[in-house]
């Protein structure tokens, strides 16, 4: 696809303030997302300048991305630190998934965990969207921590799908995600992405098989995004005793639509541990170790 001869970056940003506020390249956004989404690149703006109201947020419009619609304050989207971190995540993924609020939650948890002693772990990395954003945000090379990054880098290991997930079509979805390129199978490109952070430790293979390769005995931040119940529960159960007090556990798909078995599996584990998980409107789940 090529840009139309009359494409104007300034006009595109005027028509689509969400692209402007996210700090994205208008031409690249139009080619990757604007065309498939049917976004206009010329004509009258759909938005009109609103009279300033001191009670309203700086971004005075509805947030509507990634399954979440909210009128509440999302001024974090124009915060320079957020934009820089989010942009690094987009660079890692090679595209923008519109995960603004999910990344905002992840950065908050990571910044909070950085006040504790311990390393960081991500189970389910793919191309490294969130972990890259976190390491950029925390200036990782100055933290003297290890960030363990575990993934098959080949999609889900279907040996570990539950009966409910097989019945619900997770095998078929997994193969579609591999075929479409959403799940990366290019480990070298992942290594190149993380090369700027020498203490990013990539561990390839299936969870729970690879969990013993995590050497750290003190973990302050754990992000689990495996899209599969059995490995997710195995990961938190295996690593729980290594989490320091007040450590942050972020579950990417805990409350996300279409991932019910993961929520139920995590809830059963939490009940066994006399814990409860906070369900977030982003589709994530949050747990802070007592």
Instruction: Give the count of beta carbons closer than 10 Å to the beta carbon of residue 118.
Output: 22
CA distance linking residue 267 with residue 275, whole number of Å:
9
Kindly list the distances between the CA atom of residue 161 and the CA atoms of 36, 166, 226, 231, in Å, as whole numbers in the listed order: 32, 6, 11, 9
Question: Could you tell me the strand order of the sheet in which 119-123 lies?
Answer: 200-204, 147-151, 119-123, 219-224, 243-251, 285-288, 278-279
Instruction: Give the tens place of pLDDT for each residue, 206-234.
Output: 999 999 999 999 999 999 999 999 999 99
pLDDT for the residue numbered 49: 47
| pTM of the predicted protein model | 0.83
Contacts for 104 with CB less than 8 Å, ≥ 6 apart? 74, 76, 77, 82
Q: Which tokens belong to 115?
A: 């006040």
What pLDDT score does 24 carry? 85
Across 143-165, average pLDDT: 97
Rounded to whole angstroms, the Cα distance separating 89 from 98 reads 11
| Residue that the structure tokens 């206009």 belong to | 40
Range 36-44, long-range pairs (CB < 8 A, 24+ positions)? 39/12, 39/15, 40/15, 41/4, 41/7, 41/8, 41/11, 41/12, 41/15, 42/6, 42/7, 42/8, 42/11, 42/15, 43/15
> For residue 51, what pLDDT band results from cuts at 50, 70 and 90?
low
pLDDT at residue 44, as a whole number: 64
How far is 68 from 282, CA to CA, in rounded Å?
Answer: 6
Note the pLDDT of residue 47.
45
């Amino acid at each position: 696809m090529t840009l139309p001869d009359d494409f104007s970056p300034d006009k595109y940003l005027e028509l689509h303030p969400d692209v402007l506020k996210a700090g994205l390249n208008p031409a690249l956004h139009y080619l990757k997302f604007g065309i498939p989404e049917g976004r206009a690149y010329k004509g009258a703006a759909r938005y009109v300048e609103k009279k300033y109201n001191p009670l309203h947020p700086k971004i005075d419009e509805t947030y509507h991305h990634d399954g979440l619609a909210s009128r509440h304050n999302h001024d974090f989207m124009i915060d320079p630190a957020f934009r820089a971190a989010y942009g690094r995540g987009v660079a890692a993924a090679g595209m923008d998934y519109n995960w603004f609020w999910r990344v905002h939650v992840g950065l908050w948890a990571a910044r909070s965990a950085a006040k504790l002693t311990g390393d960081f772990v991500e189970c389910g990395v793919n191309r490294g969207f969130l972990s890259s954003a976190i390491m950029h945000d925390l200036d990782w090379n100055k933290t003297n921590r290890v960030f363990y990054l575990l993934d098959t880098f080949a999609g889900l290991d279907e040996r570990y799908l539950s009966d409910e997930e097989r019945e619900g079509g997770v095998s078929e979805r997994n193969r579609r995600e591999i075929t479409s390129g959403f799940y990366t199978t290019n480990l070298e490109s992942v290594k190149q992405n993380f090369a700027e952070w020498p203490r990013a430790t990539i561990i390839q293979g299936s969870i729970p098989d690879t969990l013993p390769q995590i050497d750290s005995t003190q973990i302050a931040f754990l992000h689990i995004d495996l899209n599969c119940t059995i490995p997710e529960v195995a990961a938190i159960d295996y690593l729980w005793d290594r989490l320091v007090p007040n450590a942050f556990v972020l579950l990417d798909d805990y409350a996300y639509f279409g991932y019910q078995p993961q929520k139920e599996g995590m809830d059963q584990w939490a009940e066994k541990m006399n814990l409860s998980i906070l369900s977030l409107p982003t589709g994530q789940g949050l747990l802070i170790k007592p």
